[in-house]
Amino acid sequence: MSNANVFTLDGKVAAVIGAGSGIGEAVAIGAARQGAAVVCLDSNEAAAHTVARKVDGNATAAVVDIRRGLDVNAALDAIVRDRGRLDIVICTPSINVRKPILQYSEDEFDRVVAVNLKGSFNVLQAAGRIMTAQRSGSIVVFSSIRSQVVEPGQSVYAMTKAGIVQLVRVAAAEFGPHGVRVNAVGPGVVETPLTTPIKANREWYDAYANKSVFKRWATAEEMVGPTLFLASEAASYVTGTILFADGGWTATDGRFTPPGM
């Protein structure tokens, strides 16, 4: 492949899980614009179909619950039957319950782990089964800055996001000999429907904005480039890693600028 078209997704079949809103929606639209045939998957079937209608090109949609391994297998198998192959799988969904450890209920723990960690495992397993058999493919799952840095109330969320990084590394080691790459994206704070409660609290919103060297939050669209880079042949020798798209959050260790700087 020449350098001129190394970022293209022409001829690729891409499944975007979580495509019904936020980052997943932006990535689905972006992948189609780069030439991929996109399948929008989401737990909200109506939202998935709405996004599919927005997507340029031959997009379809279906419902999937990543907490259920059989559902994920069925959804990805259906894509292979319909499209003949599956080149890219991108998994964006996660949930968070912000509470101190001593206040966490068992049900809340189970809900966060089921989506973030078990769901990511289910996707890696289902996509890996298909792609290792066809001996090609790229899987991109979403971790977070919370895999590295934490704050009070983020115990279970941070645990799952750190776990995703290790899942990616092991999957990359296991799938790599079969021509399959596995990577993660680590966003900072991103303006999506799920972060609306934080945006509504000005002090909280500004505190997060000031942790970025750009002094602002990211848009969902700003996650498209890093994600599609990992999915594309531009990253043909990149696997088992996490790409932080966090506005410098994890690169800087404080907000104080010394005098004279």
Instruction: Give the active site residues.
Output: 157
Q: Are 178 and 135 in contact (CB under 8 A)?
A: yes
User: CB atoms < 10 A from the CB of 4, how many?
Assistant: 7
- The whole-angstrom separation of Cα 184 and Cα 92 is 10
Q: Which residues contact 171 (CB under 8 A, 6 or more apart)?
A: 124, 128, 139, 182
Close Cβ partners of 190 (under 8 Å, ≥ 6 residues apart): 22, 23, 217, 218, 219, 220, 222, 223
Strand partners, 244: 186
Question: 135: helix, coil or strand?
Answer: coil
181: β partners: 138
CA distances in angstroms from 220 to 23, 64, 83, 96, 236, listed in the order given: 5, 22, 28, 18, 24
CA 208 – CA 200 distance, rounded (Å) = 13
Closest CA to 55 of 40, 76, 75: 40
Please name which of 14, 65, 60 lies closest in space to residue 35, comparing C-alpha atoms.
14
